[in-house]
A and B are shown apart, each in its own frame.
Chain A
Amino acid sequence: MNRHKSVIPGFGISMGITITILSIVVLIPLCSLVVFSAKLSFSEFVYTVTRPRILSGYFVSISTAFIASLVNVVMGIILAWILVRYDFKGKRFIDGIIELPFALPTAVAGISLTHLTTTNGWVGQIFYKLFGIQIAYTRIGITVALIFIGIPFVVRSVQPVLEKIDIQYEEAAFILGADAKTTFTKVIFPEILPAIISGFTLAFARCIGEYGSVVFIAGNTPYETEIAPLLIMSELQEYDYSAATSIALVMLGISIVILSINAIVQASVSKRVNGKI
């Protein structure tokens, strides 16, 4: 990248505003997290964050978030696809409600999903009677809540990319003899892949940390359905600040790693695309 001084004025003021607000809202508070966990020595820190119960908390959070995000990748692609490519009744309606999980308070979502999926809830009793599957108070329940939370991410990142793909490419591929499946895997999929990854990573990171909706639907049983954010709460309740902040720090690290992976993937993809052109 050739660095040159921009002729556009206003660098100072925009940099000033950005850094000031970023510092007050994000950076300084995050620093106190580091300061508080630094009260433990390194070996204490490692011990605190690797106790079996804590490890199982991470595992529950990460595994359910992963499955939920995978479901959302599949459903997100389908939803984006039908919204961009098809005309049908109720399209605007579907397009409109995608962001509902953003707008609905997570606690409200959690409460109503719990009531729906207990063994005598509207949906829960069907599954319980037909298949003997219990949803609420199990990991399935947690996954259900996380699917709800993560719906908008993949749809909204794939949709604009899909809109920009010229239908002529596909028609060209079709004329050249490719069937629908090949057209999708060879022409469309590579184009939307970066968007899928970006949607997936955001949804995944968001789901790992989700608390409000999950705490109602999870049974909160240690080693079974106890999520990592709940462990932070329970350490706090034991007045153990350094333990709570240590777990929080690990989760923060996971978030940063996930975001960085996404950033690297996006950068390499854009490089590849630009290189081709």
Chain B
Amino acid sequence: MELRKENRVLKFFFITVSFVFLGVFLILPLIYIVVTALRDGIMGYLTAVSDEYAIKAALLTVQATIWAVIVNTIFGIAAAWLITKYAFKGKKVLSTFIDLPVTVSPIIAGLIYVLTFGRQSDLYPILDSYGIQIIFAVPGIVLATIFVTFPFISRELIPVLTSQGTDEEEAAALMGAKTFTIFRKITFPHIKWALLYGVVLCTARAMGEFGAVSVLSGHLRGKTNTLPLYIELLYQGYDFTGAFAASSILVVLAIVVLILRLVIEKRGQKELDLNK
């Protein structure tokens, strides 16, 4: 306890610094968004958020987010299981590639899909003959969203699975349990909180992606404009109130997601304590 007392000044200093830092960098922009969104009064705000194109954009964003979460969940579980339960060659390379998308510039993320599926690509005639359009259409937006959130779920699962070890699964396997049974009965209970946490992070990031989607969306109003792109469009159309009003939708969504995260963490913690 002595230790704590001595640091009271330091504690006060650190907490103050943290509050100031987060206040300026995180809270102030939020306040600015809300204030500007309400600049033309509450009616102006309601008109802006109930605009037909705003709703279409929001729906597209939700759609892309759901796909990203589904694909990344499947991938995350498979990859985390693979990396933590087996020893094989090329594991390090594999995990570097899984992490890579987070550090790749969003512009490059968009660019690589344009190069792969665009008209100048060798794949284009094949896809075109089946009437499949990837970029400048919804599939491209979904792909870009998956890319930028790619490692979010596996990164949450890997540490948990590593610390859990492989003993339980090995025992179950020796007793003749099937893969899916092992996963469902043994592995899943361990990772479910981490998985949920990863899903929440993935959702949050997927909703807000701008750069990558911007490169390959084509900005077709009402068709391939996600909410962040729609915000940019409004912003450049002198409709600052509208832009910030639409932003506030995302801010609210972000806050909901973050609250969800806290709830998940709390319940996960409780269960962990119970198990102990």
Contacts and interface: CB of A to CB of B under 8 A. Distances in A.
Interface in A139-193: 144, 147-148, 151, 160, 170-171, 174, 180
B247 A233 contact: no
B258 A100 contact: yes
A156 to B, nearest CB: 10
A180 B6 contact: yes
Interface stretch (B13-21, B44-52, B125-133, B217-225): B13-21
B254 to A, nearest CB: 3
B59 interface: no
Interface in B259-276: 259, 261-262
Interface string B31-48: 011001000000000000
Nearest to B13: A78
A82 B11 CA distance: 8
B18 A102 contact: no
B103 A148 contact: no
Given A7-B170, A18-B94, A88-B11, 16 more contacts: A8-B166, A11-B85, A14-B78, A18-B82, A25-B143, A97-B27, A108-B251, A112-B32, A112-B244, A115-B36, A148-B26, A174-B3, A180-B6, A211-B106, A232-B107, A248-B112
B173 A256 contact: no
A96 B26 contact: no
Nearest to A148: B25
B146 A25 contact: yes
Given A79-B18, A202-B102, A244-B111, A108 B26 contact: no
Contact of B18 (A75, A147, A252): A75
Nearest to B251: A104
> Considering residues A29, A123, A248, which has the most beta carbons from chain B within 10 angstroms of its beta carbon?
A29
B183 A10 contact: yes
Given A26-B101, A115-B32, A209 B214 contact: no
A273 interface: no
Contact of B116 (A32, A78, A122, A256): A32
B102 A206 contact: yes
**Residues of B contacting A: mostly:** helix
Nearest to B171: A7
Contacts of A151: 22, 25-26
A90 interface: yes
B86 interface: yes
A6 B251 CA distance: 46
B254 A29 contact: no
B164 interface: no
Interface in B235-260: 235, 243-244, 247, 250-251, 253-254, 257-259
A245 B208 contact: no
Contacts of B25: 144, 147-148, 151
Contacts of B21: 75, 79
Contacts of B121: 32
A108 B85 contact: no
B14 A14 contact: no
Given A151-B25, A244-B111, A263 B92 contact: yes
A6 B15 contact: no
Nearest to B152: A102
A25 B147 contact: yes
Contacts of A276: none
A71 B229 CA distance: 30
A255 B79 CA distance: 21
Interface in A82-138: 82, 86, 88, 90, 92, 94-97, 99-109, 111-113, 115-116, 122-123
Contacts of B251: 104, 108
Given A30-B112, A229-B107, A212 B211 contact: yes
A33 B107 contact: no
